[in-house]
Amino acid sequence: MEAATHAHITFFLTGSRSREHLESVEGLDLRPALLAGYRALDELRYDFPLVLVANRPDGPLVQSLSGVIDEALTATAKGVDGERIRQHGLRIERDLRALVASGATGLLSSLWDGATSWLERDAEPSLDDSLRRIRAAIVVDGEVADCDAALPARLLRHLWVAVQARKVAALHQHLDRLVMKLTDILRADFERSTERRDASHLKASVGKGFGDAFDFDAMSRVLASAGTGDGFPEGRRKRIYQLLAVLTSRAFLPGPDAGVDPDGQPYKFIFGSCSEALDAFRTRMPAVIAMARAMAIAELEIDGQYRESRHDALFDEFGANGLDPQDLAAFPDYLVCVHAGQLPAAEHARLMEILTSGLPIKVLLQIDDILEESPDEQGALTAGMRMRQIAGMAMGLNDVYVMQSSSSNLFRFREHLLRGLQCRGSALFSVFSGASGAASGLPPYLVAAAAMDSRAFPAFVYDPSAGTNWAARFCLDANPQRDLDWPIQRFAYEDERHQKVSDDLAFTVVDFVASDRRYARHLADVPREKWSGHLSAVTESLSRERNGLPTTVPCVLMVDERNILHKVIVDERLIREARRCREMWHSLQELGGIHNSHAEALLARERVAWEERVQQAEPPMPAAIVTAPVAAAALVASPAAVREPERSSDEAYIETVRCSTCNECTTINSKMFAYDQNKQAYIADVTAGTYAQLVEAAESCQVAVIHPGRPRNPQEPDLEDLLKRAAPFR
Amino acid sequence: MSPLSATECLLQMCDERHELEDYQSGVPRWCTGCGDNAILAAVQRLCRDEGLRPEKTVFVSGIGCSSRLPHYMKTYGFHGIHGRALPIAEGVKMARPDLTVFVNTGDGDCCSIGAAHWIHAIRYNMNLTVFLHDNQIYGLTKKQASPTSPIGTRTNTTPRGSYLEALNPLTVTLGVANVSFVAQAVDWVPEALFDIVTAAYHHKGLSFVRIIQRCPEWMPKTLEPWLHDPNRVQLLHHANGLPLRAGLARVYKNQVEHDPSDINRAREIASSHDIIPVGILYRNPDVPCYEDLLRPDQLRTIDMKRAALDAELDKHTVWPREANLLV
Ligand SMILES: Cc1ncc(C[n+]2csc(CCOP(=O)(O)OP(=O)(O)O)c2C)c(N)n1
Ligand code: SF4
Ligand code: SF4
Ligand SMILES: [Mg+2]
């Protein structure tokens, strides 16, 4: 074996780099070839930064800066000046993006002012005009947020506040209605009281103009003797006053009216730890139960349905077992933002407690670094393992809303974020911020996007309210080329002879790790003169288990800051992790119905069976059987297919279900013919009348459902004639 | 539909159950054999099976034999004036959207003197359940031709037979904007009548059910051909409409599958001549209800209402002192 190949294989197996044949990647500032185009993010139009819209409660709650500019340009960039305005709009967008990337924060309006004041100094006159028009067309305003470590919590808080504001407004409105109706009831009671019928009150109710026109004393005496009955029982009045007291004490609702808790602290709903949120939830539970109880009683009271004998006992026990998610749904939720990287065991336990008990607490579990290596550098290198465990466990609970996403994808997941925040019970948002890129000088957006694309941190949603099975609940759609193991992209470059070459490259988790400088020791740069056929793509190494000595060494294509192509080999530890990532991706795919092993096995079995049938030249199924007449199907499906019992023609009976309640028969003899619980006729007592009456009823029944049977009394007069008349009905 | 909360379940357990007798009041004064009896039985059964609370239920009618129905219900009722059942019912619903409001009206009441109200009620699409008792005659006033009397009907007002083609209440209703539910039943097929009445009750919006009703007193022969030949009654069924009941299907063999969301097909079916279609012709749950469109988004307290009323009245008040100043 050639010495260089030997050195490469040794590196692959052991991670030890021969200085003679391999170079360190440290200091080369390499990045995966597929990321070559993303050096200057500010130059690109993409989802970030975002505008957390604060002034449009009924519109979208979050928009991308480029979306905002596009909307404004659609409104303004028209006519002869159109192209000029468009160019200027895109220029200011680029400036804003750069401003935000350099750390500027604030409202869109103030950032705009900052960026444009700078521009206008040496501006062409038309620029001023373009900007003025575009600015006038921008209706939204709010904090501008870039894709950074703070984004997940910022975005979630922003949405949470909006969702809660709507919820609390609806609750207030509901409570206001109850209070108003209860007050009306008390007022009505008061109007009927003796006190109210007193002359001075009567006078006051007529108004000034005609105050002297009546004798109110006389009126009062008349009304007193009219005896409109007493007012409410004291118990009811007391109950209503108690309800009003509870329904008006709303200090524990978030919003401008929020009060302070018994310890004098303002009520909070957003917490930095699960324990704090759980404690707050539990402390406030009695107030929530009291409110829910008062709401339920008030509804009955308003409807005039409250019966002490029936309801008192029920409401004495109310909420002894807490409230179920439906009952809790009207009340505010809690938001917890925690970092998975610093989750002490106790916090982990409380998180599980929240999720398993389905409390209305929404948890943002953020991670800034998904790569973990055992501290002695000997064990496994894993990607996203901690988050997978927690998200997997949460999905196993079946009723928790679970969303996982890189922060780069959060804007596209905004509807899923909202759904999660609006769901009943708990929700888990597992988010990778991409902040670990700082160690390698990479922007968080790029790292977050790379984690998602490389399957190191796939995006998915599990929504228990979307249906009853995985097909309805689980969605993997956001991931690129989700049918494949790894997404494939075309990569074009110039070789040393300046020829254009292009290749399809898979973007794998190995590329993701390779872009992280902290793991440089798992990579080694192969000098150009040592490039040879034994360097193979990572996917090739992944496709087969190593049996014996490897013949090829996996390498990734990377570029340095001058965009010069490098081939970088990786050690086996990375390949092992890539394999694990791929397996986990396969499990997710199966959950998402992609290459589902059960379905594929079934399909294969059916195909074999079908082929066998075809070979035996069995005649195909007649089409008629396949499309069975719908009427017949409906008949079978009918739940009310009650068959009438078989009757003998000697028996007197009525086809009761067909009786149209016309009163004919019951008028002839109301003892013989009677109505059942559905007011349809049957023969109640055949001995209560004559055969002649049976025959007469049969003849008068317009729907002909009375069957007179045989006469019971052979002595009855005119039997022969009666039997003749009865014949058509028997 | 969202599942019931534990509280709602417990409260339901406490609800009072009612029997059919709880909805019955007095002995109907209709002629023996009158189809109105069957309609009464069906709505009483509906009230019982749906657990409607008598004090939350209203039957509104106009004038006619059929309009006597509210008297026989032990619920709230309003025996109105001729042709005005619908506007009265709309007023009740507007003031008290929490009540369940039914309307019973005759072919004279609805299609003749009340025709204008009929058209607009359909367009307003308030959440009412309307039963048109169509006996094709003015019954109460002893046999005068109504708009639905078949051409040639001899009556006191048309002794030589009526001259005009009958008006078809189904096609008229299906032609009005915002129509949301149209069905047809016949009084002599009680199972179908009950299913249709139930579906109408469950529809949110104005459900219009034309019930072909026998008047043995004045029109003893008109419906006989249909009574005696079950094949001239056509059962409409569909997965999105009514299922076919086995017992019915045995007697009524003429069955057709019809999707109630198809208004064009509904209009064709409604235009049938010799056949009486029975079932749901049209249903569109998405048409908004007028009372919902007008519902204030803000609570109106008594004081607010009083203030608004005062302000309105003040516009027309002559203030004596200011009046003096003018002279
Ligand atoms: C304003 C007015 N005009 C006329 C009448 C007389 N009138 C009473 S009932 C009726 C017709 C009823 O026919 P219909 O509505 O079909 O009811 P039916 O009796 O057939 O059930 C008429 C014209 C009246 N009561 N009021
Ligand atoms: S005569 Fe016939 S339809 Fe009338 S009540 Fe009796 S059984 Fe029923
Ligand atoms: S006149 Fe006709 S509609 Fe009126 S009660 Fe008699 S049968 Fe019924
Ligand atoms: Mg009539």
User: A76 falls in which pLDDT band (50, 70, 90)?
Assistant: very high
Asked whether the predicted pLDDT for residue A556 surpasses 70, the reply is yes
Confidence category of residue B75, pLDDT binned at 50, 70, 90: very high
Query: Which CATH number is associated with domain A328-475?
Result: 3.40.50.970
Answer with the residue of higher pLDDT: B304 or B72. Answer: B72
Q: B15: pLDDT confidence band, cut at 50, 70 and 90?
A: confident
CB distance A702–B33 less than 8 Å?
Answer: yes
Buried b (16+ CB within 10 A) or exposed e, B302-325: eeeeeeeeeeeeeeeeeeeeeeee
Fold of A643-730: Alpha-Beta Plaits (3.30.70)
CB contact under 8 A, A660 and B10: no
Q: Give the phi and the psi of residue A545 in degrees, each rounded to 5.
A: -70, 145
Residue B72, pLDDT > 50, answer yes
Ligand 2 center to residue B59 CA distance, Å? Answer: 25
Which ligand 1 atom sits closest to the C-alpha of B140? 19
- CA–CA separation, A226 vs A223, rounded Å? 5
pLDDT of residue A297 exceeding 70, the answer is: yes
Q: What is the dihedral of CA A544, A545, A550, A554, to 10 degrees?
A: 60
For residue A50, how many other CB atoms are within 10 A of its CB? 27
User: How high is the pLDDT of residue A120?
Assistant: 61
Q: What percent of chain A has pLDDT over 70?
A: 92
Q: How high is the pLDDT of residue A17? A: 85
pTM given for the model:
0.77
Which residues, including other chains, have CB under 8 Å from residue B26's CB and lie 6 or more apart? B71, B72
* B265: pLDDT strictly greater than 50: yes
Q: Give domain status of residue B108, yes or no.
A: yes
Please, which pLDDT band fits residue A636 given cuts at 50, 70 and 90? very low
Could you tell me the distance, in angstroms and rounded to a whole number, from the CA of residue B133 to the centre of ligand 4? 7
Residue closest via CA to ligand 3's atom 2 equals: B215
| Residue B160, in any domain of the structure | yes
Give, as residue ranges, everything with CB less than 5 Å from ion ligand 4: B 106-108, 135, 139
Question: DSSP letters along A318-384, please?
Answer: TTTT---HHHHTTS--EEEEEEGGG--HHHHHHHHHHHHHT-SEEEEEEES--EEE-TTSSS-EEES
For tokens 């006033």, the residue is B141
Residue to mutate (ligand 3; options B65, B143, B146, B214; most atoms within 8 A of CB): B65
Cβ neighbours, 10 Å, residue A695: 22
What tens digit of pLDDT does each residue of B180-219 get? 999 999 999 999 999 999 999 999 999 999 999 999 999 9
Query: Is the per-residue pLDDT at A627 higher than 50?
Result: no
Q: Tokens 């759980």 map to which residue? A: A278
B6 located within any domain: no
Mean pLDDT of A380-396: 86
Place of tokens 């929530």: A288
Mean pLDDT of B147-159: 97
| Residue A542 exposure: Cα atoms within 13 Å on the Cβ side | 23
**pLDDT greater at residue A44 or residue A459:** A459
Give domain status of residue B200, yes or no.
yes
Tell me which range, A75-89, A217-231, B112-126, is most confidently predicted by mean pLDDT: B112-126
Report helix, strand or coil for A728.
Answer: helix
Q: Where are the alpha helices (DSSP H) in A232-271?
A: 234-248
Is B13 part of a structural domain of the chain? Answer: no
pLDDT digits (tens, 9 = 90+) for A225-235: 776 666 788 89
Residues B274, B231: contact at Cβ < 8 Å? Answer: no
- Band (pLDDT 50/70/90 cuts) for residue A27 is confident
Q: Which alpha helices (DSSP H) does A413-517 contain, by range?
A: 414-422, 444-453, 470-473, 509-514
**B250 is a domain residue:** yes
With a 6 Å cutoff on the Cβ, whether B59 touches ligand 3 is no
Q: What is the pLDDT of residues B291-313, one digit of tens each?
A: 999 888 788 888 888 899 989 98
* CATH code of the domain in which B106 resides: 3.40.50.970
At A233-286, the pLDDT tens digits run 889 999 999 999 999 988 778 766 667 766 677 788 999 999 999 999 998 899
pLDDT (0 to 100) of residue A611: 87
Higher pLDDT, B126 or A529: B126
pLDDT value, residue A256: 66
Residue count (chain A) = 730
- The pLDDT assigned to A637 comes to 37
- pLDDT value at residue A319: 84
In this predicted model, which residue has the larger pLDDT, A342 or B287? B287
Q: Which structural domain range is residue B169 located in?
A: 19-289
pLDDT mean across residues, chain A: 87
Nearest-ligand number for the alpha carbon of A657: 2
Residue A377 confidence class, pLDDT cut points 50, 70, 90: low
| Residue B99 placed within a domain | yes
From the CA of B190, how many Å to the nearest CA of chain A?
6
Can you give the pLDDT at residue A1?
64
- Average pLDDT value for residue range A346-361: 93
Q: What is the pLDDT of residues B234-243, one digit of tens each?
A: 999 999 999 9
Cα–Cα dist A134/A127, whole Å: 11
Q: Which of A701, A702, A707 to mutate to test the pocket of ligand 2 (most atoms within 8 A of CB)?
A: A701
Residue type (1 letter), B187: D
- The residue ranges of every structural domain in chain A are 2-39+488-591, 49-146, 169-206+230-326, 328-475, 597-642, 643-730
Share of chain B above pLDDT 70, in %: 96
d(CA A416, CA A418): 5
In percent, the amount of chain A with pLDDT more than 90 equals 53
The pLDDT of residue A230 is 67
Residues in A touching B6 (Cβ below 8 Å): 323-324, 326-327
**Chain A residues with CB inside 8 Å of B302's CB?**
184, 187
Residue A599 pLDDT class (50, 70, 90 cuts): confident
Q: For residue A650, report the distance from its CA to the centre of ligand 1, in Å.
A: 47
pLDDT-based confidence at A624, cuts 50/70/90? very low
> What pLDDT sits at residue A117?
80
3-class secondary structure, A174: helix
Give A642-683 pLDDT, tens digit per residue: 445 678 888 999 999 999 999 999 999 999 999 999 999 999
- Whether residue A188 is predicted with pLDDT greater than 50 in this model: the reply is yes
Looking at residue A498, its pLDDT comes to 85
What average pLDDT does the segment A327-338 reach?
A: 92
The neighbouring-strand residues paired with A31 are: A559
Paired sense of beta strands A535-537 and B207-212, if any:
unpaired
The contacts found for A708-717 with CB under 8 angstroms, 24 or more apart, are A708/A652, A709/A648, A709/A649, A709/A650, A709/A651, A709/A652, A709/A653, A710/A649, A710/A650, A712/A686, A712/A687, A716/A690, A716/A691, A716/A692
* pLDDT at residue B322 in the model: 59
| Mean pLDDT, residues B149-159 taken together | 97
Calculate the CA B124 to chain-centre distance: 14
Is B96 within a domain? Answer: yes
What sign has the CA pseudo-torsion B92, B94, B97, B101?
Answer: positive
Contact A638 B243 (CB under 8 A): yes
B193 CA distance to ligand 3 centroid (A)? Answer: 19
- First-to-last CA distance in chain A? 106
